[in-house]
Structure 1
Amino acid sequence: MAQNLTVTGIITFSTGEPVPGASVMVKGTKNGAFSDSKGNYVLSNVPSNASILVSFIGMESQEVNVAGKGQVNVVLIEEAISLNEVITIGYGTAKKRDLTGAVSAIGGEKITARQNTQVVSALQGAMSGVTVTRSSSAPGTGGTIRVRGITSIQESDPLIIIDGVPAGSINDVNPSDIENISVLKDAASASIYGARAAAGVVLITTKRGSRDGMSIDYNYSLSMDLPTKMPEYADAPTYMKALNERNWNDTPTGGEYTVYDKDLIANYWSLNKENSDLYPNTDWVSLCLKNYALRNSHQLGLATGNDKSKTKISLGYDDVDGLFKSNLSWNRATIRVNNDIRISKWFSTSLDINMKRTESTDPMFSPSYQMRFAAPVYAGIYSDGRLAGGKDGANPYGAMMYGGTSKDTRYQAGGKLSLEITPFDGLVITGIFAPNYNFAKVKDFNKQVSYYTAWDDLSSTDFLDGTNTTDLKETRADSYSITSQLFANYSKSIANHNFNAMAGYEGYHYYYENMWASRGQYDLIQYPYLASGPGTFKDNNGDAYENAYNSYFGRLMYNWKYRYYLQANFRYDGSSRFHKDFRWAFFPSVSAGWVVSQESFMENISWISLLKVRGSWGQLGNERIGNYPYQTTLDFNSPTLYMENTIVPVQGASAYQLAVPDISWETTETADLGLEINFLNDHLRFTGDYYWKQTKDMLLKLQIPNYMGYSDPDQNAGIMSTNGWDVDLNWNNQLGDFNYSISLNLSDYKTVMGNMEGTQVLSNNLMVREGSEYKEWYGYLSDGIFQTATDVSSSAVTSSAVKAGDIKYKDISGPAGIPDGKIDATYDRVLLGGSLPRYNYGGNINLDYKGIDFMVAFQGVGKKKSMLTSDMVTPIRGDWYNVPGIIVDKYWSNYNTAEQNSAAQYPRLSRTGETNNYAASDFWLIDGSYFRIKNITLGYSFPNLGLEKVGVKKLRVYVSLQDYFTFSHFPKGWDPEVSSTGYPITKSVMFGASIKF
């Protein structure tokens, strides 16, 4: 019979630190114990041939055979995604296991894997509760980021913190420099930033040096950008038929062929073949856009260090070409140097320096709008290369190519000096001084462009629209900010009680100033300088503003045996944006967590490795409301007066903003309940949160009489409430040499307006009023398309211009509160449903086998009401725009049979009917949900056979498709993220290589 033993030992992390609270069990029995605060454990009555199981949250479980030994020490190794992973939080870090708030995190390697030049684009679909929307892929543009939806009518952008210092934009940092990103989503985690954290906080940590000696890495990628989708438009004969039909519909007595002769239409293709100058069929989109645009990216990094100092140097250069055939480009050069120096055991310092230069060049006249709608019967350029006038001077190609350029050059330089003192074990005092400087120079040179007629190649006829003169405007702007921080962190463990306390101060000051000058009607167009322009036509202006805040903050964290957690935060903020009597506000939060899986009753449930519940409550603030709202502000101007026969310039000033002295903070109160479960030895991980937040004292426009001469001032009056939830699900496993992981995230929210003091806001067919969702569609309820004149005469209509073929609307109400036989905008428009995306989702699939790696990232929206805009569906706008291809052969027409008209998807062609037919209504609402494959990457890392001899540690090549596949219900040619007519969303084919020495 095997002899029973008393087994003792120490449980440690791979770093040598003790593991407190680790579970130690005799396999197959209920005999077990937990390690103490120093990692020690004692197990009695253990068979000498038994095995013990050691487990701890976020670590790989270990099974060790006792083998008759009385002492068994165990080293626990972190899993691929460990709960001991360090997460960046406000003014410090915390292990994932210790978090009681809602925090999402993503590693820098996942950011760079998506190969985006802008950070915000790489976050789309990457984290639950974080929504990124785009409206353009123009070089240098990013997108809009929202954390858990909408927080305020005024400002819903999250606060961006880079290496502990507030930043102006998430795109201030090069994606290749990022070590990790944390998003603070609830009040428990974000309230430490109080005044500006109501819309969430995005914390970005950049890469630093390593103690492992020197390493150099370089990455190069070449991309070809193409539009994801482009709408089609009618060719010349189809356009001519449509214009004739439209005029016939509006003026039947004029006949069917009032503009273009029947024979001309019938013979147009043969005429076009004979003389394309006189009979053009211009594809304006192809004329203005290239087939693809190139994007080059170079990223170089150097890391070095030892026990005394560490340095990370990174250089980046991105050169992005645009799709326009004219000069459209964006480039960025960045440098970042992060230094860490340990001077003594109790004193260390860090010095970080970063610089960035961006330059964007754009045509003064963007063709994005007109190139989509310009009619094909007008020429843009003749066969001999002369510039045509388009439609009476409206030539988007000519204006783009020759109408001048706008060059925007920006410089940013920043730094951070940090001093860290550790007077005794557990206490760390940190002081930070971080200045940042920005300078911008913009030069707009608008050139005169003349055009010719097809039959006269000797002299120009006139100038293109907007190019009658050559003008120059130059703008200079500079700003600086200074952030200073002083805070102390103290950690202490007493037996099974673990404490952490933090308190500190932050000061921030921002100053901005700009000026501009212009001169017009240049004769010497080859010299784009202010001194070269005539002094007769000149102007200039400038302004400046500044703001500041002071803050005091603190945090207390406590846990017992890493099982029960409590946390409290506070921040006391004062902002210069408010009157001194309303300047200060207090923002508290509390949170708690319970690691249920640490309880003894969970010991035999081996398939659950972690079960944690947590909850939080707190208040956050918003002070980003503009400057000086509590003061009456003046607008200075220099008008000219006529005194007898003399023009006399004078200095004038007028008040344009009414003071509201008691204006103060918007306050957001939030509550969050969270659940974290890890299954099957942490292979499967689930995190879910349900949250509620309400913004009070939201700023709304106070309506005042027009005769007062002021614009409507803001007032603290509105209430907005949001309910939502976030879910993350992750699976990772290894089968021999095959590694794979799958991650999914899903989130949803709904925002409803509360008390708005009787005000409402209607803009772009979107309504914000008491009781409505935030930005609900607002318009008529449609009832099909009128099929006959009798149907029209017996129904309520918007005007006498309505005829058969127009959209029919429902008579909802009238002045007496009941239907009145009229369709009126005041009484018959209703809320049509929310416009914001619902059920935002995203995910990644990663596969790795013997050096071959494959990644698929996807993103989408599960539910959304989108409205087809008038730009997308209105034919022949302004008497000369083209017919959208999506309505060709699908609109109601007098040439159709009754059966064809009853199945028509669009109303008749009519100028007089546009007001009725293209008014906002549910007729134009469509399913706006979509699924997009964000990235497909296939890579290969070469084995080290022979490469180490030349100093190469790793060599990888890859090919990637970005935004290449999109599935939606939008009409053909339209991307679901762009319902306007701006620069198109692009997809990319990328080739790249990375090498590490």
Structure 2
Amino acid sequence: MRYRFTYCLMVLFIFIAAPSFAQQEITIQGKVTDSLDGTGIPGVSVLIKGTGKGTQTDANGNYNIKAPSNATLTFSFISYRRQEIAVNNQTTINVTLASESEVLDQVVVVGYGTQKRSQIVGSVSSVKSEEITKQPVLTAAQGLQGKASGVQINASGQPGSQPQVRIRGVGSITGNQNPIYVVDGVITDDITNINNSDIASIEVLKDASAQAIYGSRAGNGVILVTTKTGQSGKMQVNVNTYAGFRNMTSKVDMAGGRDYAIYTNEAIINGTPVGEEPELLFDPNNLPNQTTDWMDAVTRQGLVHNYDVSVSGSSEKTTYYFSAGYFGDQGILKGSKYDRFNARVNNEYKLAPILSVGHNLTVTYSKSNNIPGSVFASAYRMSPAASIYNEDGSYGYQPGLNVGNPVATINYTNDFTNTLRLQGNGFISLKPVEGLTLRSDFNFDKTNGDGLQYAPVYTVFSAQQNNRSRLNVLDNNRFYYIWNNQATYNKTFAEKHEVNATVGYSFERDRATRSNVQVLDVPNQRNLWYISQGDVSTITIDPNNNINGGDLVRRQSIFGRLTYTYDGRYNISGSLRRDGSSSFPVNNKWGTFYSIGGSWNIGEENFMKDQDLFDYLRLRVGYGKVGNDISISGNNLAALLGVSQTGYYPFGFPNFDPVLGINYNQIRDAGASWETTKGVDAGLEFGIIQGKLSGSFGYYNKLTDAYVPVTIPSLFGDADRVVYTQAARVRNRGFEVALNWDNRVNDDFSYRFGGNVTFNKNIVDEVTGNLRLQGGSLGNGQIVTMTQVGEPVGSFWVYEVTGHDDQGNFTYRDVNGDGTIDDNDRVFVGSYQPKAYFGFNAGVNYKQFDLSFDLYGNLGNKIFNGKRAVRFGNDAVEQEVFANRWTPENQNASGPAASNTIPRPSTYYVESGNFLRVNNITLGYTFDNQKWTFLKDSKLRVFATAQNPFVFKSYSGFTPEIGGATSGNISDADRRNAGSAINSGIELDVYPIYSTYMFGLNLTF
């Protein structure tokens, strides 16, 4: 009893004393600084939360306070965001306070200048450079995937390739829809030459009110890329490197040799007319046991590595930035390889207080070993019962199968490309009076490329042979320049009226020379691969791939933008651009593009001063018109104007140089001009909870006058003619949401997460005449898409499967009830365009460790499994198709009976394109330079990254991220338009997506 009483007293004592132990006071000291300039902030209130006790920072921002070890300190000061930090026994707590208006005062790069975030009236998404550089990707365009709402990116696994980018849906029907990139003022459609480590910021201009300053070039969106420049202070050296390996992310399970033989024999039997004896390919009593995995035979574990170093800094009159780098990608397809070497020099020289000059220059040399992507199609179709090599060392093949040995294709392919590219600008800037800046810059993009293709004499079998060696020598030289002259005036009057005005003139010229010369009978020795080593009597020049110094296009433009801000609360901005292009008839070569918009910084209103929910709140709305003059009919303005090349003819005395002949082979649209897009955009941006939660909501509605081919009946008895004209209007309407949470708990621990989602509806809104534009050729006589009013562009147009007949063939719904199954019975079953696409990211920092990951995916789109639907006879078969085929013993099967006939495009081949991909997982560790003496005044971080390690998909094929069709079986005309919307979302010979696992380091000193 006594012990129990003693025990109770002890428990009671601990219960009473615990609070006093927990509240043991400690002395805490630290400094409060401004997040922008790092200076100490005097007068900051430092309070112990839940009490009236506290102190203030001194003139230098320092403070000293006694508080319980488990207390929470609150730091607050007028016009700064309040912060709460748990003490957790810390004796030193340094705090950085951000201005409540900091987010709105951030300077954002816009067309031909910069603006404060608070002044922007259009939809602009900014992506931090570190979000791009942490990924092992060639181009920043791929690194944008999942980082910005309204931006959809389909990446290819092919080394050296640029991904397909769509901004707020598809507008153009018969052309590609890729945006333009503006790299330090240079307009381009290819940024594979830019080292990601050189990028300072990326802004995506998503609506017409933001894009209109680029006028006729902005119809598909604008991505601004700003590279790094020297910063004030001492010289800084950065070294970044990583290396890793790549593997195919997902494979398709193919039937083994024995199952393939059974299926092939069944297909032959089912296709043999009644009464005739089938000629079987395999002996039913001696089926093959061998199984060759052709996909394994043509792929490998690829390697990727990157090394770059930069030096930056400034002196009294000069800022400088120099970098050099190497990127190497040995793709997963055997024989493929891409190497890029680049160097950059960005310098600015201050010649006088009002005068400065500078340059941003990058030189890039790249070389590629190219293997045709059709190898994947051959590996998919090739018989697993065939050997890679025969016993005598020759290449194996399957008699009765018209598919070449893909390993032989790789080994007999000699296709090399070398490219030297110089890109950049030189500029002069003059500030004659306060607020006025005059700037002239010359921007250029010079490319010299050469290629060599050699095919030796070889024979695998009758359909895979080359009887005479063939050498093709290609040259591709291009010089594109833009000369810009602009004046910018920025002035604030009476402390409340801010005016920012820009006017300018721009001139562009794009010139190119291109040739493809072929000769036969060149020896199979690499050192003899020259035109002169072949039979000179066989020299030919490809007339479709030859330009002798011609202008591709010339443009002239005048542009202007005016922004007025009142009291930091109300903004109104308008842009106007007048473009002239040599691509169009004289009477229509000029076009006018414009925008108008406004924004309201609600958080700056007096009625918002006493609330403590919103840190900032901003409403914006805009309207504008932009154009597109380079993406019509598969980048082929000749098709728009009815032009064909007829070959070369001698012209001019005394040399009689060959001149390309031109023929107008179709009726042309006399009113041919830009595709135009008009649109409205509205958005709400906010920040709450001391800046921890920020986000935006956006709505857009845009309408594109798109070019489509229209058939005009002949009046003279000859064939009907086709003319490209603006006979269709395409509408994209959508809603975007972006939310981000960022919280720093204490000096050791912080975390963040965020995401964005875009809902887009694409539809052909109206047409002139009866538009029924077919597309999506499978190369076997079948097409699978139809574009017509009321449906999305490139909608899948197929027969609806209802069951099987007594032979196991599919039966189809007779939609119109006329007793005949024909095109009139086809139905629309969706398109490759997703109804929603999204990204999610999260990160944690604990002491020296950092962990981050991000996801990407889309919902509501469809994919046509073209590789299943293209069966030319005795092709390999997927294990799923084999297992689910109809047989007399399996009449409830989901698939048809084995067959070698060309199938109808049906709902059987249309699959869900929904997917969720783990885009990136990165774990890093930053060494403490206080503990490691050799790192004094330096920063070293090591990291491991998994890029695209997992993908969760409904689709049974290689990848759900499919853009244009690229099959080697389609015609040249179809291939030229393969990137267009009417041919997208069809898997034929897509380069499979891969996973990358790598290690790297970042060193700064």
* Common fold by TM > 0.5: yes
Cα distance in structure 1, aligned partners of 2:150 and 2:206: 8
Identity of aligned residues (%): 25
Cα displacement (A) at 1:344? 1.7
Q: Would you say 1:428 and 2:437 are equivalent positions? A: yes
1:823-879 CA-to-partner distances (Å, cap 9, x unmatched) read: 122x2112222331121000211111111111101100022122322x1366xx333
SS of alignment partner, residue 540 of structure 2: strand
Q: Would you say 1:346 and 2:354 are equivalent positions? A: yes
1:84 and 1:55, CA in 2 relative to 1: closer, same or farther beyond 3 A? farther
Residues 254 and 878 in structure 2, CA contact (< 8 A), matched pair in contact too: yes
Q: Would you say 1:987 and 2:987 are equivalent positions? A: no
**Candidates 332, 338, 341, aligned match of 2:340:** 332
Cα displacement (A) at 1:436? 2.1
**Candidates 418, 425, 437, aligned match of 1:416:** 425
Residue 623 of structure 1 is matched in structure 2 by: 629
Residue 485 of structure 1 is matched in structure 2 by: 484
1:934 and 1:403, CA in 2 relative to 1: closer, same or farther beyond 3 A? same
1:734 and 1:525, CA in 2 relative to 1: closer, same or farther beyond 3 A? same
Cα displacement (A) at 1:399? 2.5
Summarize the alignment of residues 638-717 of structure 1 with structure 2, pairs less than 5 Å apart: 654-696=663-705, 698=707, 700-701=709-710, 703=712, 705=714, 712-717=722-727
Residue 758 of structure 2 is matched in structure 1 by: 747
Residues 656 and 711 in structure 1, CA contact (< 8 A), matched pair in contact too: no
1:567-610 CA-to-partner distances (Å, cap 9, x unmatched) read: 11111111111122212122121111112222222233312222
1:77-117 CA-to-partner distances (Å, cap 9, x unmatched) read: 45898332211101111121222211001011111012211
1:75 and 1:343, CA in 2 relative to 1: closer, same or farther beyond 3 A? farther
SS of alignment partner, residue 140 of structure 1: coil
Cα distance in structure 2, aligned partners of 1:133 and 1:365: 17
Residues 186 and 445 in structure 2, CA contact (< 8 A), matched pair in contact too: no
1:666-686 CA-to-partner distances (Å, cap 9, x unmatched) read: 221110111112111121112
Cα displacement (A) at 1:973? 5.5
The AA in structure 2 aligned to 1:906 is G
1:606-636 CA-to-partner distances (Å, cap 9, x unmatched) read: 1222221111111111222444678664623
Residue 540 of structure 1 is matched in structure 2 by: 541
The AA in structure 2 aligned to 1:571 is R
The AA in structure 2 aligned to 1:937 is T
Cα distance in structure 1, aligned partners of 2:179 and 2:373: 33
1:306 and 1:635, CA in 2 relative to 1: closer, same or farther beyond 3 A? same
Aligned length: 885
Cα displacement (A) at 1:523? 4.6
Residue 760 of structure 1 is matched in structure 2 by: 772
Cα displacement (A) at 1:222? 0.9
Cα displacement (A) at 1:821? 1.4
Cα displacement (A) at 1:762? 0.8
Cα displacement (A) at 1:298? 0.8
Residue 778 of structure 1 is matched in structure 2 by: 797
Q: Would you say 1:444 and 2:439 are equivalent positions? A: no
Residue 306 of structure 2 is matched in structure 1 by: 297
Cα displacement (A) at 1:263? 2.4
Residue 981 of structure 2 is matched in structure 1 by: none
The AA in structure 2 aligned to 1:920 is P
Cα displacement (A) at 1:538? 1.9
Residue 924 of structure 2 is matched in structure 1 by: 939
SS of alignment partner, residue 141 of structure 2: helix
1:331 and 1:13, CA in 2 relative to 1: closer, same or farther beyond 3 A? closer
Q: Which ranges of structure 2 fall in alignment gaps of 5 or more residues?
A: 1-32, 50-73, 85-94, 651-657, 777-783, 963-985
Residue 953 of structure 1 is matched in structure 2 by: 938
Cα distance in structure 1, aligned partners of 2:306 and 2:860: 36
Cα displacement (A) at 1:14? 4.8
Cα distance in structure 2, aligned partners of 1:678 and 1:702: 54
Cα displacement (A) at 1:248? 2.5
1:225-271 CA-to-partner distances (Å, cap 9, x unmatched) read: 11111112111111111122222223365679944333212xx44xx
Q: Would you say 1:823 and 2:817 are equivalent positions? A: no
The AA in structure 2 aligned to 1:775 is G
How much is the aligned-residue C-alpha RMSD, in angstroms?
3.3
Residue 967 of structure 2 is matched in structure 1 by: none
Summarize the alignment of residues 465-484 of structure 1 with structure 2, pairs less than 5 Å apart: 465-484=464-483
Cα displacement (A) at 1:724? 0.9
Cα displacement (A) at 1:954? 1.0
Residue 277 of structure 1 is matched in structure 2 by: none
Residue 901 of structure 1 is matched in structure 2 by: 891
Cα distance in structure 2, aligned partners of 1:225 and 1:630: 42
**Candidates 808, 812, 834, aligned match of 2:811:** 808
SS of alignment partner, residue 131 of structure 1: strand
Cα displacement (A) at 1:195? 1.1
1:820 and 1:701, CA in 2 relative to 1: closer, same or farther beyond 3 A? closer
1:906 and 1:413, CA in 2 relative to 1: closer, same or farther beyond 3 A? same
1:298-356 CA-to-partner distances (Å, cap 9, x unmatched) read: 1111112134211111111111112233x311111111110011222111111121111
Q: Would you say 1:962 and 2:947 are equivalent positions? A: yes
**Candidates 293, 296, 317, aligned match of 1:286:** 296
Cα displacement (A) at 1:416? 0.9
Cα distance in structure 2, aligned partners of 1:257 and 1:396: 23
Residue 842 of structure 2 is matched in structure 1 by: 845
Cα distance in structure 1, aligned partners of 2:75 and 2:269: 91
Residues 929 and 936 in structure 2, CA contact (< 8 A), matched pair in contact too: no
1:747 and 1:248, CA in 2 relative to 1: closer, same or farther beyond 3 A? same
Cα displacement (A) at 1:715? 2.0
Cα distance in structure 2, aligned partners of 1:761 and 1:948: 70
1:771-817 CA-to-partner distances (Å, cap 9, x unmatched) read: 2221111122221333x4xxxxxxxxxxxxxxx3121211111xxxx
Q: Would you say 1:872 and 2:861 are equivalent positions? A: no
1:714 and 1:412, CA in 2 relative to 1: closer, same or farther beyond 3 A? same
Residue 169 of structure 2 is matched in structure 1 by: 149
Cα distance in structure 2, aligned partners of 1:708 and 1:732: 69
Residue 114 of structure 2 is matched in structure 1 by: 93
Summarize the alignment of residues 479-558 of structure 1 with structure 2, pairs less than 5 Å apart: 479-494=478-493, 495-523=495-523, 525-526=525-526, 527-541=528-542, 542-543=546-547, 544-558=550-564
1:503 and 1:464, CA in 2 relative to 1: closer, same or farther beyond 3 A? same
Residues 577 and 629 in structure 1, CA contact (< 8 A), matched pair in contact too: no
1:431 and 1:205, CA in 2 relative to 1: closer, same or farther beyond 3 A? same
Cα displacement (A) at 1:159? 1.9
Cα displacement (A) at 1:146? 1.0
Q: Would you say 1:731 and 2:737 are equivalent positions? A: no
1:225 and 1:630, CA in 2 relative to 1: closer, same or farther beyond 3 A? closer
1:905 and 1:539, CA in 2 relative to 1: closer, same or farther beyond 3 A? same
The AA in structure 2 aligned to 1:528 is W
Residues 640 and 725 in structure 2, CA contact (< 8 A), matched pair in contact too: no
Residue 204 of structure 2 is matched in structure 1 by: 183
1:858 and 1:521, CA in 2 relative to 1: closer, same or farther beyond 3 A? same
Cα displacement (A) at 1:155? 4.3
Cα distance in structure 2, aligned partners of 1:390 and 1:520: 29
The AA in structure 2 aligned to 1:910 is S
Residue 859 of structure 1 is matched in structure 2 by: 856
Residues 165 and 178 in structure 2, CA contact (< 8 A), matched pair in contact too: yes
1:609 and 1:711, CA in 2 relative to 1: closer, same or farther beyond 3 A? same
Cα displacement (A) at 1:75? 11
1:85 and 1:651, CA in 2 relative to 1: closer, same or farther beyond 3 A? closer
Cα distance in structure 1, aligned partners of 2:403 and 2:78: 73
Residues 975 and 985 in structure 1, CA contact (< 8 A), matched pair in contact too: no
Structure 1 range deviating more: 758-767 or 732-741 = 758-767
The AA in structure 2 aligned to 1:195 is S
